[in-house]
Amino acid sequence: MSDPVPPLTAPTRHSAGPRRSEASHAAILDAAEAILAERGSGGLTFEAVARRAGAGKPTLYRWWPNRTALLLEVYDRRKHRELPDHDTGDLAGDLLAVLADLWRFWRETPAGRAYAGIIAEAQQDDAARAVIAGQWTAPNFSLTPIFDRALARGDLTDAGEALTLREYVAAMNWFRLLTGRLDPADLPGLVATLIAGRTARRG
């Protein structure tokens, strides 16, 4: 039964189950985040991340189809750590609070430039672009609970309208980030104009 020749891939990696897998996933994200901090986005290759995390490149490819997907998950994890949800009981109030946090996060940490870089890089790679294109409709996207609550309260009654408004907010965030215009003084006007009259019309 014993085999003196070690297998090419350690079987424990495959048999350790979800707990080991989650730890490895987190270790890879930690390694990627450390490399980003030290060497910037240009230094983040799958090779460098795998070496630092003590993982195999195939493991990375199992979870992330490309560099953009990995960069985006590192970015998202940090964003979720640093930005709380805000439940103010009101659509405009929620949007103002969450967007003020997000714009500050983009302005005052390297995250803004990093995220703009992810969008820019994805323009040369259709698979990467598909990754960022799906982000704003994901259940864990920061705007999702805001519009879900607005529908639950009856502030908005049409799910299609809620989704389109959410996309306008995501689009404006990108536009302001990519044109370097993240002035928080603009937020009340932007939110009020988008939401104007919607709840009142139904009130």
Per CB under 8 A, residues contacting a second copy are 113, 116-117, 119-124, 126, 129-130, 132-133, 160-161, 164-165, 167-168, 170-172, 174-176, 178-181, 189-190, 193-194, 196-198, 201
- Phi then psi for residue 128, to 5 deg, are -65, -40
> Smallest gap, in angstroms, from Cβ of residue 88 to a second copy?
22
CB 8 to a second copy: min, Å: 38
Smallest Cα–Cα separation from 146: which of 186, 182, 106, 191?
Answer: 191
Taking the least distance from each CB to a second copy, the nearer of 87 and 161 is 161
Closest distance to a second copy from the beta carbon of 195 (Å): 11
- Minimum CB–partner distance for residue 198 and a second copy (Å): 7
Report CA torsion sign: 98, 144, 128, 48: positive
Using the minimum distance from each CB to a second copy, give the nearer residue, 45 or 123: 123
| Cα–Cα dist 171/173, whole Å | 5
Residue 132 and residue 118 in contact, taking contact as beta carbons nearer than 8 Å: yes
Helix (H) or strand (E) holding 182: none
Give least dist CB 172 to a second copy, A.
Answer: 5
Q: Can you tell me the distance from the alpha carbon of 102 to that of 100, in angstroms, rounded to the nearest whole number?
A: 6
Nearest CB to a second copy, comparing residues 7 and 197 = 197
| Token representation of residue 183 | 């002035």
